[in-house]
Amino acid sequence: MFGSLLELSDNFFAYNLKYLFFVGLWPDDPWAKENPTLYKMYEITTHILSVIFLITTGIGTYQIKDDVVLLMTNLDKCLVAYNFVAKVAIFVSKRRQVEILISEIVNSGDQIAEERKKMMLTMIVVITGFCTSIVAAFSALALYHNELSVEAWMPFDPMESKMNLLTASQLLAITIVVPVIWRAIAMQGIVCSIIMYLCDQLVELQERIRSLELSSMTERAVREEFKDIVKKHVRLMGYSQDMNKIFEEYFLIQNLAVTLELCLNALMATMVGFEQKTLLVTFFAFLCVALMNAYIYCYLGNEMIIQSGNIALAAYESSWISWPLDLQKDLVILLRVAQKPLYLSAGGMVAMSIQTYSQTLYNGYSIFAVLNDVVA
């Protein structure tokens, strides 16, 4: 219906869509359309690998249930993966809606600065490198200590020989790097790029509103420009609503996972002594990954709230005093509408913002405090 988005001229989402294609989440790519069976097999195989990781680590966690410290350590490591896999399931179920939304944005004709495209690409590369480096570093450290990076069931004994341990580590890497970590980064890239697009267009609308200068010579042009501004504002509001419908469960899982991760890390910090430095560093590293992902979403969501609210400020600061009465009334309507900011919802309960991020951290600490009192 919309054609391949990657066949369109260079657009803001090209890098993100290509990344999604590489990790088996975007069958709209030209190559995938030419080889649908092969790509479907690749996509299903990647899904299966992520499920295998969940099953094997679940069994491995159950097998160490008697060792509380080791059990909590494994849960801490696996929680990030469980969060990512759950978000993949939501993304796949809403993928067609995402495709429609992106198609509408790309075909809208809105312009994106080249600097923003480069920043988006840089963010993808940096986050991919950062997350992959953490996993690689802890896998190498585990091998050095003759351990698995994550306790998982294997059809053979990993501790029987160095070769068995190396094989088990490679199997874990195959089931987590592309199927879990890189997929999560690809989804984060497309979500963040849509939010950044909305923020940039809202800023552009503010500039256009402030630049309206009405005179007897320019009245007709100003009226046309104002009409176009209103149409674009309505369109951006529609994009925001569509995004909320698509990603509200996605953001809810994100917030819940961060709350649990913080609670689990705080609880483990009280149970593990400073002599177990490796475990403490592991907790901190995985917590940093979770907090970084959550902060990016909340920061961009907060920016969207601010910039959409600034539309009303821009309308007030325009030279409306010299406008005809009918145009002033139209401006008042725009101002009233813009006073209700656009936001991203997490499960329809809270808006993604810096305040929500702080509340999520507070909730995690509160749960930890209650559990710590019970354990004590």
Q: Using alpha carbons only, what angle is made at residue 186 by residues 30 and 193, rounded to the nearest 5 degrees?
A: 90
Token pair 């160490």: residue: 64
- Assess whether pLDDT exceeds 80 at residue 3: no
Q: Which pairs count as long-range contacts for 205-210, CB under 8 Å and 24+ apart, including other chains?
A: 205/229, 205/232, 205/233, 205/236, 205/311, 205/314, 206/307, 206/310, 206/311, 206/313, 206/314, 207/314, 209/311, 209/314, 209/315, 209/318, 210/314, 210/317, 210/318
Q: What is the pLDDT of residue 349?
A: 82
1-5, 156-160, 165-169, 263-267: the lowest-pLDDT one: 1-5
Of 51 and 133, more confident: 51
**Distances in whole angstroms, Cα of residue 245 to Cα of each of 60, 198, 301:** 36, 16, 15
Average pLDDT estimate for 229-256 = 91
Residues 227-236: tens digit of each pLDDT: 999 999 999 9
Average pLDDT of the chain to the nearest whole number: 84
Q: What is the pLDDT of residue 246?
A: 92
pLDDT higher than threshold 90 for residue 238:
yes
Q: Which of 166-175, 265-274, 283-292, 293-302 has the lowest mean pLDDT?
A: 265-274
Residue 97: the pLDDT is 93
Q: Grade residue 62 by pLDDT with cuts at 50, 70 and 90.
A: confident
d(CA 376, CA 372): 6
**Residue 191 confidence class, pLDDT cut points 50, 70, 90:** very high
Helix (H, G, I), strand (E, B) or coil at 350: strand
In the block, residue with structure tokens 């249930």? 65
- Which is nearest to 47 in space by CA: 92, 80, 99, 98? 92
pLDDT-based confidence at 118, cuts 50/70/90?
confident
Domain ranges of the chain: 5-375
* Cβ–Cβ < 8 Å for 64, 29: no
Q: What does 285-303 look like in DSSP terms, one character per residue?
A: HHHHHHHHHHHHHHHHHHH
pLDDT at 43 over 70: yes
Tell whether the model's pLDDT for residue 153 goes beyond 60.
yes
Among the listed residues 319, 315, 314, the one whose alpha carbon sits nearest the alpha carbon of residue 331: 315
pLDDT at 9 over 60: no
Residues 314-353: pLDDT tens digits?
888 888 787 888 888 888 888 888 888 888 888 888 888 8
Per-residue pLDDT at 282: 67
pLDDT of 70: 76
For the cut 60, the answer to whether the pLDDT of residue 164 exceeds it is: yes
Supply the pLDDT for residue 295.
87
State what percent of residues in the chain have pLDDT above 70.
91
